[in-house]
Structure formats: structure tokens, C-alpha cells
Structure 1
Amino acid sequence: MTTYYKGFPQSTREEKLHMVNLDELEHEAKYVMPEAAYYYVASGAENEWTWRNNTQAFNHFQIVPRALTGMQNPELNTEFLGMKLKTPVMICPIACHGIANAEAEIDTAKGAKAAGALFAMSTYANKSVQEVQSAVGDSPRFMQLYLSKNWDFNKMVIEESVKAGFTGFFLTVDALVSGYREANLRTNFTYPVPLAFFNEWNGGKGEGQSVAQMYASSAQNIGPDDIRKIKEIADVPVIVKGVECAEDAMLAIGTGADGIVVSNHGGREVDGAPATIDVLPEIAKAVRSCDHRVPIILDGGVRRGSHVFKALALGADLVGIGRPFLYGLALGGAQGVQSVIEQLNKELLIDMQLTGCKTIEDIKHAKIDHINYSADWGISSTSRSVMKPYPVTKENQLTGEAADAVSGASRH
């Protein structure tokens, strides 16, 4: 179940996950991930206000159920830039999947393929683009770019990715330096396993580096010309990742971007930045009104199928997940990643049925309210983080055959 790289434990689990909701996985992942690696994933910048509010802010919007729709059997199939997908949920790029599982990005890509989802891979990946190609063939996938100051390095990443079947790029523009990530400082986190592109380029600089050190070697001055440079190297779509206002969306589109990702880097950069779902409506309105309408992806805090529904209804074309799939990867490998996507799909289908939305396109026209409630945020009363031990009495315990049944009262 565990292998070691220079003493660093890596999960080798490969199994479908059984869960009630995605929040359960965050706790369970502690049992298979070392502390520094776990908190690299499960933390944000500074006081983590933005990190927390990315999820909480979904409660600022309410789904209006519809009755008498005469609809059944909703469908999740969708299309994005010519790619036919089985779900609107996609895998966002995150560095160093090897901290969660020894098969790293290979298993993540396999899980995404099994679920019919778009997979995006980081420049800071542990596995090579060639290894991913061998594992998943022509499945839908994009490469994320952390631009380097060295354009020879950038050219290598772009050309090798395209050759290995990656059909477009996410250009990350919101992480020019590392946010002040206190969890990383407290645990002295450094990338514990090799990063494939950096191994190939300079013999291993990447392994053993902190997040701040890695970002220091990347480009801190990214502008409109960089989109053009990427397109000169490879004639494929370039999506700008890290947009949080309409002005930047218009700037990106005017410079030739083929799409945008509404993202605050998972609350890891500017603490105090608004939640992505809160700024999505303004950005979507601006994009729809321009002459060159491009697709929109939203990420940040997505933990429920209802979150996916709200994002689609407020203007997104795809909805990205980050931390949950890494927990799934740690706990179940490729099948764990697939399980995470399927859990969101399961919840999303319920919301579609109860709102009369047959297709993903129908969700984009669903009725969403924006009402301020005093109880703005809460979690399920049966969440493990708040649920107290169930009282054990002579009167409430199952006996005999019932005690061996799968269902029934909790036994302690």
C-alpha cells in the first residue's frame, strides 16, 4: 500500500472509494499522506480567508427548483473546444501529484479518462508528458504553463506537450510569486519527488525546492505578448488561468486568449481576494457581450454537485476541481480520482432532475436566486468534523441478526 522515494512515503492504493460526500476524503487523506505533503494541499495563504470562502460563497446563490417539468434521465455529456466530454467536471492542474500517489499524474489522467473528464497537467508534474500519453492515449488533456524566465525552457515544455497529445494550454497568470503559505513554512515543505520537466532540463532542480524557490525561477512579468509567443510556438488554444475581474477577461480575450479560467489559485495567493463564484456573474456577462465569445471555466472551492450546477448556471462552461481529486488519488489511485468525479456527477444529476434540466446547456438557463441569509454557511450535521459520538444505551443497540446488517443504528 506504500512505497518510498528517498524515505518519502507514497501511497500505492488503487481502489474505488465509497463516500457520502467529498469532505470526508480530506480527513481520510491524513492517514496516507505525510503531514507536510498533506498541508501543502489542504491549506491556503495567510489567514486562509479566501481559501475558506471559495466554498462558503456558493451559499450566496440558491438553486430554484422547478416542478411539472415532465423531464427525466438528465444527461451530463458536453463539448468544450471540440472535445467531447462525459461530464462538465474537469481536473485542474496541480503540481506534484507524487505527494499523493506513486503513480502521480499517470493515475490522475487514468481516472479522468475513465470518468470522461478533461485532465489538465502542471508544468511542475512528477511524470513526463510521454508517460501520460502512453497511459491514456488520446484522451482529452491540456497542459498548464508556469512560464519560465527562460523561453528555451518554455519552448521545450510547449513542443513536447503538443507532441505528446496535449491539445491546448492553460497559462497561469495569477501566481507570479508564491502567496504567503504559512502551512508550508511551518512544515518546511519542499517538493519531495522529482519534477519531470526540470529533471530533463537541468538535472533535477525542482526536487528539494520550496514553493517560493520554484516561483522565483518563473516569470514574474507576464503580459499580453506572452499569449502571442505561445501561439507562435504551437497553433493550439491558450486559456488564461487566474482571472477575477471583467477587465482582465476582456484584456485576455483581446490579446487572443481562447478561453479564461475564473480562479484565485485555490486561495493560495492573495488572501482577501473574492471567492470565484462571487465574481463569475460579472465576468460571464462581460464575456457574453463581447464580439469574440470564449468559453469560461470556474475553479475554487467546488465540493458539491450543487456547486457545479450553480457555476454552470452563472456562466461557466466547465467546472474544475483541485484538492478533492488529490485526496481521491491518495486514497484510491486512478479509481479514487474517478470516484471523486462520479460523486459530483451523482449529486449534479439530482439537481438537474429537480430543476427540469435535461442537458448541461439547460443548466445554463436555470433559475438562480441571490438572497442574503443570516445563516450563510454550514456543513452537514453528520459531517465527521462536527458529529459527536452517538450515545450507547441498552435501548438503542441492535441485537441478533440486525446487529450484523449493513444498515441500522451506529454501534460503539
Structure 2
Amino acid sequence: MAKVYTYDEVKSHKTPQSCWVILYNKVYDVTSFLRSHPGGSKIILQLSGTDATEEYDPIHPPGTLEKSLPATALLGTIDPSTLPTKVPSSPVKLQSTQTVADCLNLDEIEKLADEKINRKAWAYYYSAADDLVTKSHNNKAYGQILLRPRVFVDCTLCDTSTTLLSSKLKVDIPIFVCPAAMARLGHPDGEKGIAQACAKYSALQIISNNASMTPEQIVAGAGSDQVFGWQLYVQDDRSKSEKMLRRIHALPNIKFICLTLDAPVPGKREHDEREWKVKQSMAGSTASTLPVRSSLQSGSSSTTTPDPLTGPHRITDVEGLGGDTSGGVGNALFAGTAPDLKWDTTLPWLAKHTSLPIILKGVQTHEDVYLASLHAPQVQGVLLSNHGGRALDTAPPALHTLMEVRKYCPEVLEKIDLWVDGGIKRGTDVVKALCLGAKAVGVGRAALWGLGAGGTAGVERVLEILKAETETCMRLLGVGKVEELGMQHINTRVLERDIYDGPSNLDHRLLDKPRAKL
């Protein structure tokens, strides 16, 4: 019969020599796991001797315990009557009687989610870099474009379907879900719930490298025609990325790799960091953050760090047992992320380990879009993105970059797909991006807010609203099909004032630069 422990018995085991945690009312000895934990040992030691279920559950895929720990690690169960009263992570909110079905737009979805999710989830989903200038500008840029409706056009039929990646992928709406991490922070349905919502609308989903469920769990049960992509953060230890790519190849629904380039180090997300500090002050030394973090930048983005190649806080420093984890959720999601990616080394390495098409995420200048086009057909698309304003504040909105491309190197629009994300709140935003030449438009926070507001049904409502608004906009423009949308349907004169107006940087010195042989 399993031994029953009291909380007092467990809380005395909180050292590297004897480290116990409580998970799902069971007591585990994780001492032997400290040095092999992907996020370093310090986060486990911070939670040692406590009930870590609330911190563990939203960010670890089901089955992780069984795969990571030997059977002997399970010591017994906890007597729940001996557990201390938990300090609430945020003030109790008054719950609205509104449901996701009552929400008429994405702002109302976000408001409803704000009433339901905990403070940590809100801080992570809402946060962006520095003063949130880029986050705000992402949406404002769409408002600077005016539409040009035509009349006496039969708008009875409206087809939002389109094809992507050289017409190889067919979707029913030109709207996809970006790789949004940690979905189970907002709702237990998690990324699987997002997948089910996408299935209903035949929408593309890019699975986050930092998903709170495994890719196998997310795509399980998907129809053969449902399309997924996989987000890749290349790791310092390339063998880990290679192992992950092998897993992805075993999942036929995953059709491409989305290589993320816009966050080699975490941005300074003050809402996220502040929430961590609030919890720290409430919970004392047992305060926690997510158990993964950047190998290059330890702790808070408000403080400097040692030399990443020699400093004592590098995550690969086994003797140091990990470093400071005081940077909040956003700062925590970059465990071992490689900051040294280059055109002439990374793409050839990828070519050895995957034959799937590559989408480059996070491109923010026309020069880099042009360079990406030189690597076709390995690179079949670019996702113009500034990481939702979460990396470098005052970086340009994706619309600015898209207009740069039209100005300096429009020929790339015929060579590779250009997708955009950031700031999408209306179907009119979707249509404006398509008129400028984008093949597809992504939403990240909107899907997470939908999940927080109502689980799978909330994400379905997000997609339903965007699809309906897109159809309404197309009909009022006098357009029946996505491929008919073009520059003749928009007025961009106001936005053009803010577009980069310097040299093209596409001269012979760039063209003659050695490129990888693929």
C-alpha cells in the first residue's frame, strides 16, 4: 500500500541532495532528475518541498511525468488535509454572464478571457516589449489603409478558400493560427483545442515549439486534409533539434517547418516580469516561473548578464545547476535557443535533416525577404512578423515590411509566399493584407484569448468572427474570390509616409555574397 505523507514530511526535502515535490496529490523524489531537467535544476529546487501542481500542469504535456521519471521516483501520496492554504495568484474577479457566443468581435473575446484566466496567463498573453509601441502599431497600421468599394458587382457568392506554398496546401480561409506558446495556461483544452477549432474551419495551425502539449497529442485525430506547420527554435545543442525534426517527420499532417528568427533572445516584457515579482513577494522563496529559459540571457531583461559564452549562469553549466529564473514566463521560454543562426550555415544544416518546406518567421526588412527568396525552393515562404511586438520594441509592423517589399523587390512575390501576422483584429485587416500581396494572415493572441474565454468553442468563435468579417468586406468591395484582391481595392497613401525610404541595399555587393549550396 502506498505510503501517505504529511506536508511537513515533504517540505523538509528541498536540497540538491534530497529534492521532493508534490504533483497531483502524489509525492515524487526528483533528486536524480535535477541535472537532466531541460530548464535547469533551480526551478525545481524553488518548488521543492511544495505542491507544484499548479505550476507544473499548464506547461507540461500529459504523460511527461511517466516519460521523465523512473517508477521508483513515486514515493506515495500526500495527505491533502495537511497542505497549507494556497495564496491566490490574483484578486478574485467578478465573472461575467456573457458567453463566447455573445461576443461580436475580438476585443469582446479578449475582455471575456481577461475575466476568466489567472493573472500569470494574462500577463504572458498580454505582454510585449518595453513600451508596447510595436504591439500597438501592429494594429494601428491597418487603420491607416482605406478600402475602395466597388458597386454594381454581383456579390452573391464569396469564396475565402486559397492555396499556399506553390498551391500545395489548400485551406478554406486565408487565416492561420500562429505558433502561440503555453495555451494550457489559459484553458485545459490547450493546443489540441485550437487544432479542433481549426479543423472546423479548415484553417492552418502552426504548432508552437513551446506548446504545452506534444505535437503527437495536438494532431491526434486530425483528418488527413488538416494542415499543420511546426515552429522550430534551433537549439544550441543541434542534436536536440535534429531529434525533434525526426519526430515531426513521423506526423504526416505537419507539412512545413516554421523556422523562427525574430527572438534569438527574449525581449523585455515588463508585464510578465512584474507579475513574476508580485508572485514572488506573495509566496516568498517558493515563487516560480516556467522551468525553461534562455541560454543566452539569464533572469530579468532589466539587468545585465555575464558573458553568455563564459558566464556562470549559462543553462548548460551543469555544476551551476542552472541560473537565475527571475524573468517571468516570456523570459523563460528560450531554453537553449541558439543565437548564432546564419544564412550560410543554418539552411544547409536544415537541408540535411528535413525535406519539408521552410517558412522563415520573423523577417522584418525587404533585404531579408529578398535574401530568403534566393534560397527557394528550400525556403518557400516568409512570415513577416515582429513576434507580436514581444521582441524589439519600435520594430516595424508587418504591413510596413510588406510594403517595403512591394517598393524595392516586388518580384519576390512571384517566387515565395509572404505571410503576415501581428495586430489582426478584424476581417478588414485580413483583406487589406491580402490586397497588399500577403498569401495568408496569422493570429496568435486572438486564439489564446479565445481559448481563455471559452476553450475550443472560444477559438471557434474567433475564427467564425474573422471569417464572417472577411466575407462581408470582400462582398462590399465587389470581390468574390481571394485571388481577385489587389492594390486596386485599397488606398495606402497615408501609410506610405512611414515606410522605409533609404537605399535598397540590393546592390552587387549583396548579390555577390557567397550563398549556401543547397
**TM-score normalised over the length of structure 1:** 0.81
Secondary structure at 1:44's aligned position in 2? coil
Q: Aligned ranges for residues 65-144 of structure 1 at < 5 Å?
A: 65-81=149-165, 82-138=168-224, 139-144=226-231
Report the counterpart of residue 240 of structure 1 in structure 2.
360
Report the counterpart of residue 23 of structure 1 in structure 2.
107
Could you tell me which of 294, 301, 323 is aligned with 2:423? 301
CA distance in structure 2 between the partners assigned to 1:262 and 1:214 by the alignment? 21
Report the counterpart of residue 371 of structure 2 in structure 1.
251
Report the counterpart of residue 64 of structure 1 in structure 2.
148
Please report how far the alpha carbon of residue 285 of structure 1 lies from its aligned counterpart in structure 2 after TM superposition.
5.2
Report the counterpart of residue 481 of structure 2 in structure 1.
359
Report the counterpart of residue 49 of structure 1 in structure 2.
133
Please report how far the alpha carbon of residue 140 of structure 1 lies from its aligned counterpart in structure 2 after TM superposition.
0.3
CA distance in structure 2 between the partners assigned to 1:219 and 1:110 by the alignment? 32
CA distance in structure 2 between the partners assigned to 1:361 and 1:292 by the alignment? 13
Please report how far the alpha carbon of residue 286 of structure 1 lies from its aligned counterpart in structure 2 after TM superposition.
5.0
Q: Which moved more, 1:262-271 or 1:21-30?
A: 21-30
Q: 1:298 to 1:124 in 2, by over 3 A?
A: same
Could you tell me which of 463, 469, 478 is aligned with 1:341? 463
Q: 1:290 to 1:363 in 2, by over 3 A?
A: closer
Please report how far the alpha carbon of residue 118 of structure 1 lies from its aligned counterpart in structure 2 after TM superposition.
0.3
Contact 2:262–2:387, Cα closer than 8 Å, also in 1: yes
Q: Aligned ranges for residues 179-328 of structure 1 at < 5 Å?
A: 179-188=267-276, 192=290, 210-215=329-334, 217-224=336-343, 225-256=345-376, 257-284=379-406, 288-290=410-412, 293-328=415-450
Query: Which structure has the greater CA radius of gyration?
Result: 2
Q: Which moved more, 1:250-259 or 1:321-330?
A: 250-259
CA distance in structure 1 between the partners assigned to 2:268 and 2:177 by the alignment? 25
**Matched length:** 357
Please report how far the alpha carbon of residue 253 of structure 1 lies from its aligned counterpart in structure 2 after TM superposition.
2.0
Please report how far the alpha carbon of residue 364 of structure 1 lies from its aligned counterpart in structure 2 after TM superposition.
3.2
**Offset from partner CA, 1:13-64 (integer Å, 9 cap, x none):** xx86331110112221122211121111112100000001100111121111
Counterpart of 2:221 in structure 1: which amino acid?
Answer: A
Please report how far the alpha carbon of residue 104 of structure 1 lies from its aligned counterpart in structure 2 after TM superposition.
1.1
CA distance in structure 1 between the partners assigned to 2:151 and 2:101 by the alignment? 34
**Offset from partner CA, 1:273-317 (integer Å, 9 cap, x none):** 122212212224556414961011000100000000000001100
CA RMSD of aligned residues (A): 2.6
Could you tell me which of 157, 161, 164 is aligned with 2:248? 161
Report the counterpart of residue 39 of structure 1 in structure 2.
123
Secondary structure at 2:220's aligned position in 1? helix
Secondary structure at 2:101's aligned position in 1? coil
Higher relative contact order (CA 8 A, sep 6+): 1
CA distance in structure 2 between the partners assigned to 1:290 and 1:51 by the alignment? 27
CA distance in structure 1 between the partners assigned to 2:380 and 2:135 by the alignment? 27
Please report how far the alpha carbon of residue 153 of structure 1 lies from its aligned counterpart in structure 2 after TM superposition.
0.6
Please report how far the alpha carbon of residue 365 of structure 1 lies from its aligned counterpart in structure 2 after TM superposition.
5.0
Secondary structure at 1:372's aligned position in 2? helix
Contact 2:363–2:384, Cα closer than 8 Å, also in 1: yes
Report the counterpart of residue 258 of structure 2 in structure 1.
170
CA distance in structure 2 between the partners assigned to 1:339 and 1:29 by the alignment? 13
Q: Which moved more, 1:273-282 or 1:85-94?
A: 273-282
CA distance in structure 2 between the partners assigned to 1:41 and 1:65 by the alignment? 35
Secondary structure at 1:29's aligned position in 2? helix
Secondary structure at 1:168's aligned position in 2? strand
Q: 1:137 to 1:5 in 2, by over 3 A?
A: farther
Secondary structure at 1:125's aligned position in 2? coil
Please report how far the alpha carbon of residue 115 of structure 1 lies from its aligned counterpart in structure 2 after TM superposition.
1.2
**TM-score normalised over the length of structure 2:** 0.65
Contact 1:98–1:193, Cα closer than 8 Å, also in 2: no
Please report how far the alpha carbon of residue 90 of structure 1 lies from its aligned counterpart in structure 2 after TM superposition.
0.4
CA distance in structure 2 between the partners assigned to 1:267 and 1:110 by the alignment? 27
CA distance in structure 1 between the partners assigned to 2:407 and 2:198 by the alignment? 30
CA distance in structure 1 between the partners assigned to 2:222 and 2:121 by the alignment? 26
Q: 1:172 to 1:304 in 2, by over 3 A?
A: same
Q: Which ranges of structure 1 fall in alignment gaps of 5 or more residues?
A: 196-204, 374-412
Counterpart of 2:266 in structure 1: which amino acid?
Answer: S
Secondary structure at 2:420's aligned position in 1? strand
Identity %: 27
**Offset from partner CA, 1:300-348 (integer Å, 9 cap, x none):** 1000000000000011000000101101111222221121011011111
Report the counterpart of residue 65 of structure 2 in structure 1.
none
**Offset from partner CA, 1:356-396 (integer Å, 9 cap, x none):** 111000113542102439xxxxxxxxxxxxxxxxxxxxxxx
CA distance in structure 1 between the partners assigned to 2:423 and 2:202 by the alignment? 22
